[in-house]
Amino acid sequence: MSPAAYNVIVVGASAGGVDAMLKIAGHLPANFPAPILLVQHLGAHPSALPDLLAYKGPNRAKFGEPGEVPEPGVIYVAPSDSHMLIEHGRIRVWKGPKIHHTRPAIDPLFRSAAMEYGARAVGVVLTGTLDDGTAGLKAIKECGGLAVVQDPDDAREPSMPLSALAYVEVDHLATLDDMPALLGTLALAKPRRTASGPTQALRDEHAASFGGADMRHLKAIGAPSVFTCPDCGGSLFELKDQRPVRFACHTGHAYSLRTLAAAREETTDSALWASLRALQEKEAILRRLAEVQEARMPASGQAALGEAQELAHAIQVLRRFVEGPPRAPVA
C-alpha cells in the first residue's frame, strides 16, 4: 500500500506520556484504520512500552523496525536510544545525532511524516517538558497536514502543548478522554487542504539533522552564533527565519533555545562541581606546601598559607552556590 493510500498519525510525548498513551490506546477502536507512530522520550533506557500498549488496547504495538511498511492497526514505538523516521514509505530506525539533547526525538519523525505524507499526516503533541515536537508539528501544517495538541490543562506537563499552541495553527485541541474518538475520525478523514510540497528550508533542515553537513551547507541555512554545541562542542548555527528559534551544528545535533538552555544547565552543573574539586585540591596542595616550607622557607610558607586561606573562602562561596536551593528548571 502506497503512503498516499491512507492517513498516518504521528504522536510525540515526553514526561507523562506513557500514562497518556496507555489511556489513548485503551480506548482506540480495534483494527484502527491508520498506522500510529509514536516517539516517547525514553533515552537509552530499556522499555516495555509496546507490550503495555498492546495489553491495554485492542491494537498491535511493537517497536519500529528498519524497512517496515507502516500498516493500519499497528502502533509503532521508537526504540530506545534511536530516532524513528519514515522514508520512501518505510520505517527508518537510526542512532543519529541527538535532537533537543535527546534520542529518540519527536521533530525528526514529524518532519519525515510531513515530507512523506503531506496532507495525509496527522501530528499529535501530548504532555511533556520543553518544546520538542513544535517545529515538527509546524512542518506537518506547512505540508498540508493536521495538527492536534493535548489540552495543556489536561496534561501532566503542559510545556510541550503550550509551545505547540504558541507557534502552530492547531486544528484540534483535545483532552485525553476525547483523543481516541478524534484520532479515529481523523484517521479516515479526507485531506481538507491540497498538499503543498516541503519547502527547501524544510528539506535543508531535515538533511542537516542527518549529520555530515559541511560549513557551506550550514551557512546556506543558518548563520554562525556565539554558542557551542553541548553534545559535541562544535559551533552552533542559528537557522534562518525559524520560529521557534533553532540551532544546528555540522555534526547534526539540533536545539531550540529552550532545549539549548536545558542542556547547558546539565553541563554547567558538571563544570561547577569540577571547578569545586579543582579548587579544593589546590587548597590542599598549598597547605601541604606551607607545612613543608615552614621551617626552611617561612616567608614562602606563609605566602602559600595565605593563598590557601583565600581559596578556602572562595570554595565556601562556590559550595554555597552549588549546594544552594534548587533553581527553577527550564521547562
pLDDT at 311 over 70: yes
The answer to whether residues 145 and 122 touch, using CB atoms and an 8 Å cutoff, is: yes
User: Using CB atoms within 10 A of its CB, is residue 98 exposed (0-12), middle (13-18) or buried (19+)?
Assistant: buried
Query: What pLDDT digit, counting tens, does each position of 11-28 carry?
Result: 999 999 999 999 999 999
Query: What pLDDT digit, counting tens, does each position of 127-186 carry?
Result: 999 999 999 999 999 999 999 999 999 999 999 999 999 999 999 999 999 999 999 999
pLDDT on residue 294: 86
pLDDT at 327 over 70: no
Q: Which pLDDT band, with edges at 50, 70 and 90, does 2 fall under?
A: very low
- Based on the residue annotation, tell me whether 132 is a catalytic residue of this protein: yes
* Position 328 in a domain: no
Q: Are residues 164 and 269 in the same domain?
A: no
Q: Are residues 226 and 292 in the same domain?
A: no
pLDDT on residue 201: 81
Catalytic pick among 14, 82, 112, 209: 14
Query: What pLDDT digit, counting tens, does each position of 38-92 carry?
Result: 999 998 989 999 999 999 999 999 999 999 999 999 999 999 999 999 999 999 9
Phi, psi of 288 (to 5 degrees): -65, -40
pLDDT on residue 213: 56
Q: Map grid coordinates 533542515 to a residue.
A: 205
Q: Are residues 248 and 272 in the same domain?
A: no
Q: Are residues 48 and 94 in the same domain?
A: yes
Q: Please count the other Cβ atoms lying within 10 Å of the Cβ belonging to residue 307.
A: 16
Q: Are residues 245 and 281 in the same domain?
A: no
pLDDT at 1 over 60: no
Q: Are residues 64 and 9 in the same domain?
A: yes
The answer to whether residues 39 and 55 touch, using CB atoms and an 8 Å cutoff, is: no
Phi, psi of 22 (to 5 degrees): -65, -40
User: Using CB atoms within 10 A of its CB, is residue 183 exposed (0-12), middle (13-18) or buried (19+)?
Assistant: buried
Q: Are residues 275 and 172 in the same domain?
A: no
Q: Are residues 211 and 268 in the same domain?
A: no
**Beta strand spans in the chain (E):** 8-13, 36-40, 60-63, 74-77, 83-87, 90-94, 121-125, 146-150, 172-174, 222-228, 235-239, 246-248, 254-256
pLDDT on residue 209: 76
Q: What percent of the chain has pLDDT over 90?
A: 77
pLDDT on residue 246: 94
Q: Are residues 34 and 177 in the same domain?
A: yes
Q: What percent of the chain has pLDDT over 70?
A: 93
Average pLDDT (297-301) is 91
* Structural domain count, the chain: 3
Query: What pLDDT digit, counting tens, does each position of 196-225 carry?
Result: 778 888 887 887 777 655 566 777 789 999
Catalytic pick among 41, 101, 206, 253: 41
- The CATH number for 47's domain is 3.40.50.180
Q: Are residues 182 and 308 in the same domain?
A: no
C-alpha span between 114 and 315 (Å, rounded): 52
**Beta strand spans in 142-298 (E):** 146-150, 172-174, 222-228, 235-239, 246-248, 254-256
- Based on the residue annotation, tell me whether 196 is a catalytic residue of this protein: no
CA dihedral over 19, 21, 24, 28, signed as positive or negative: negative
pTM above 0.85, yes or no: yes
Instruction: Tell me which residue of 58, 57, 105 sits closest to 83, measured CA to CA.
Output: 105
Q: Reduce the DSSP state of residue 84 to 3 states and report it.
A: strand
Average pLDDT (270-294) is 93
* Position 242 in a domain: yes
pLDDT mean across residues, the chain? 91
Q: State the helix-helix crossing angle for 49-56 and 17-25, rounded to 10 degrees.
A: 30
Catalytic pick among 47, 82, 112, 132: 132
* Position 194 in a domain: no
pLDDT at 281 over 90: yes
Instruction: Tell me which residue of 82, 144, 75, 130 sits closest to 108, measured CA to CA.
Output: 82
pLDDT on residue 197: 78
* Position 195 in a domain: no
C-alpha span between 110 and 143 (Å, rounded): 11
Q: Which pLDDT band, with edges at 50, 70 and 90, does 31 fall under?
A: very high
* Position 289 in a domain: yes
Phi, psi of 11 (to 5 degrees): -125, 135
pLDDT on residue 214: 59
Average pLDDT (276-305) is 92
Q: Are residues 247 and 293 in the same domain?
A: no
DSSP symbols for 104-151:
S-HHHHHHHHHHHHGGGEEEEE-S-STTTTHHHHHHHHHTT-EEEEE-
* Position 23 in a domain: yes
- Based on the residue annotation, tell me whether 80 is a catalytic residue of this protein: no
Q: Are residues 27 and 93 in the same domain?
A: yes
Average pLDDT (89-118) is 96
pLDDT at 122 over 90: yes
pLDDT at 237 over 60: yes
The answer to whether residues 53 and 74 touch, using CB atoms and an 8 Å cutoff, is: no
* Position 331 in a domain: no
Which structural domain, as residue segments, surrounds residue 221?
200-252
* Position 329 in a domain: no
Q: State the helix-helix crossing angle for 179-188 and 17-25, rounded to 10 degrees.
A: 60
